[in-house]
Structure 1
Amino acid sequence: MTIDTDDVWVIGGGVIGLTSAVALAEDGHRVRVLSRDAAGGTTSAVAGGLCWPYRIHPYARAVRWSVRSFHVLAELARNPEGTGVRMVTGTMAEAPAARPEAADDDLTAWYDAVPGLRPARADELPEGCASGWRARTPLVDMPTHLRYLERRLTAAGGIVERRTVTSTGQADGVAAVVVNCSGLGARELVPDPDVHPVQGQLVIVENPGVEEWFVAAAPGASDTTYALPQPYGLVLGGTAREGDWSREPDPAVAEAIVARCARHYPELARARVLAHKVGLRPARPEVRLTAERLSGGTWWVHNYGHGGAGATVAWGCADEVVRLVREVRGAA
């Protein structure tokens, strides 16, 4: 393997890492993505893919990143088969954070970016929901989208390599800049003890005809309810369990997820189960998106801790990564 000090390493092959790598390569940098797992084996591949800020702080910055990503994803939705992105109408039910009149100035930009956001009529709400908000947002088929990002990166001259980086010192003298998109791996790599998992379990069932997305997720709740229609099936969720490291689906939890969703869509009680999935969201009190020069002399741009909003903020964060890499390379 030939690497020289003009290379920008991006550590992590999930949606945050691949999007950052695409943005950097298309900005003219020579980019190499180093990932322990293939894209299909990352947490991003398990994600439901709804574009909506969720479990991410600070919220004001997350909204700005989300607005940028919204516009990029909406453009990609012109080619859903190739990019995995579709614009889909749905309902955010009984979620206090989805009330425009209660929002402060930091949230206004997000609501302005969502086409047709409005209160749901009673006949638009699933059974058991008293209120909600209607919106048309990007819904991302994550496995297809990750493959799209890899193709786009390759077309821009980037390289994806299966390789585990276990210490910051491995980059010393062999990379101009390292962009750290290692997600939960940053806990050991940096190390950063503030990074922790928020476990999410979901069930994929044969879609009985649900065409719109539906979410009921109170802030901070460990159990959520959502149904996201994807080309490969209807994604039912879910959980958001702080500090839970288990990647094994729990049959009792899966049964409860289906039961919660079936209260809103009774036909789901009889839907054939296609798969069970568990992902560990890389949470942090605040997203870390900063640059620092480590003792070995290499500049590191950290971009991790996005919780449950990786696909939602990826393009907005990638813009900041490009800006920071330009700055540190100019200072080197």
Structure 2
Amino acid sequence: MTSARPDVLTIGAGVSGLTTAVRLAEAGIRVHVRALRRPEQTTSAAAGAIWDPIYANHPLVLSWSTRSYDVFRAMVRAGRPEVRLVPGVEASRRRIPSPAWAHDLPGFRECAAAELPDGFASGWRYTAPIIDMPPYLAYLERRLVAAGGTLELGHVSSLDGDLAPVVVNCSGVGARELVPDPEVEPIRGQLVAVRNPGVDEFFAEHTEELEEMTYLLPQGDVLLLGGNADKGQSDPEPDAEVAAGIIARCAGIVPAIAAAPVLGHRTGIRPQRPEIRLEHVNLGGRHVVHNYGHSGAGVSLSWGCADSVLEIVRELL
């Protein structure tokens, strides 16, 4: 731990933990982050990270995601290289109306049938942030340190100890054992990184739940291909058969992908939960603020959730 006792101990150094810690530290609160893994080794580092608010459930999802969108857009305006605003298409294999949240995004319009790939029945265009996660997490860590926060590797086995006046639990799928919370379910996601054959717009398949889907996320010279959702799987090793299926599906959208050199594979364990848990729990004078269960929308909700945690912590301190 740090030499001076922190006001807040944040558990977890993924995007939720780091963003929350940055928000607290920049508000003048002494914050220490403890995590099992460095930020670049977390599930967040493996995320494709296109802003999309649909893969999590909570009454505040839209307000949280809107706040994050505004932060990412401001980063682009400030010239931050970790975030891009990218136009593209989200499409469904069923004929469905476009979601209401999409209508307020820059460049929104409905797609004509001729604009959609084979097998897709409806779609809409808009511009969304795409975040290059490994350098973005490094950027968040630098902001944390600049604001006086600290980070160390270590294991928190229980929330029962006298860890700090306030503990913020951003342990992701680890909350299943730490809390314990049996409602948290691991879902393994997998991406394939290929050399970009010239794709400059995203394509994202719209599904109501995390499942096998097709998406292409351009990040300069790299194109991220996805994706899948293996429920109940916590093994981080990439599956060659899953990777081949991802490449084949994406090549159905952009044929040049079939010949694109593979640069690497990414896997991460998403923390699926029926509803995001963001709440304060008083454990007999010890205060825990939970912020986990974001499923596939951790990046999209990160800044909005961090704001809500800050509001709670300010009241407690």
1:143 aligns with 2:141: no
1:204 aligns with 2:193: yes
Q: Tell me, what secondary structure is at the counterpart of 1:264?
A: coil
| Structure 1 residue 217: Cα displacement | 3.4
1:185-208 alpha-carbon deviations (Å, 9 max, x no partner): 111111111111121111111110
2:176 aligns with 187
CA shift in 2, pair 1:286/1:73, >3 Å: same
2:10, 2:21 within 8 Å by CA — same for their partners in 1? yes
1:322 aligns with 310
CA shift in 2, pair 1:279/1:183, >3 Å: same
The one of 87, 106, 123 equivalent to 1:115 is 106
CA shift in 2, pair 1:44/1:95, >3 Å: farther
Distance, in Å, in 1 between the alignment partners of 2:265 and 2:168 is: 32
CA shift in 2, pair 1:323/1:113, >3 Å: farther
| Structure 1 residue 129: Cα displacement | 3.3
Structure 1 residue identity aligned to 2:146 = A
Structure 2 residue identity aligned to 1:223 = E
Distance, in Å, in 2 between the alignment partners of 1:113 and 1:143 is: 29
1:187, 1:196 within 8 Å by CA — same for their partners in 2? yes
1:96, 1:218 within 8 Å by CA — same for their partners in 2? no
Structure 2 residue identity aligned to 1:233 = V
1:72 aligns with 71
1:279 aligns with 2:268: yes
User: Which stretch of the first structure deviates more once superposed, 286-295 or 40-49?
Assistant: 286-295
Q: Tell me, what secondary structure is at the counterpart of 2:77?
A: coil
1:291, 1:301 within 8 Å by CA — same for their partners in 2? yes
1:312 aligns with 300
1:50-95 alpha-carbon deviations (Å, 9 max, x no partner): 001132112x421111011101110011245x45111110100117
Structure 1 residue identity aligned to 2:72 = L
The one of 248, 268, 279 equivalent to 1:259 is 248
2:61 aligns with 62
1:261-317 alpha-carbon deviations (Å, 9 max, x no partner): 11111111111111112111111110000001114x320000000000011000000
CA shift in 2, pair 1:83/1:189, >3 Å: farther
Identity %: 49
CA shift in 2, pair 1:187/1:221, >3 Å: closer
2:34, 2:153 within 8 Å by CA — same for their partners in 1? yes
Q: Where do residues 237-248 of structure 1 align in structure 2 (5 Å cutoff)?
A: 237-248=226-237
1:94-145 alpha-carbon deviations (Å, 9 max, x no partner): 1779834xx5xxxx4x335411211123454345434311000111001111
Q: Tell me, what secondary structure is at the counterpart of 1:308?
A: helix
TM-score (norm 2): 0.94
CA shift in 2, pair 1:302/1:255, >3 Å: same
CA RMSD of aligned residues (A): 1.9
1:16-72 alpha-carbon deviations (Å, 9 max, x no partner): 0111011111111001111110000000000001001132112x4211110111011
1:153 aligns with 2:152: no
2:39 aligns with 39
Q: Which has the higher helix share?
A: 1
Q: Show structure 1 runs of 4+ deviating over 6 A.
A: 95-98
CA shift in 2, pair 1:304/1:97, >3 Å: farther
1:95, 1:219 within 8 Å by CA — same for their partners in 2? no
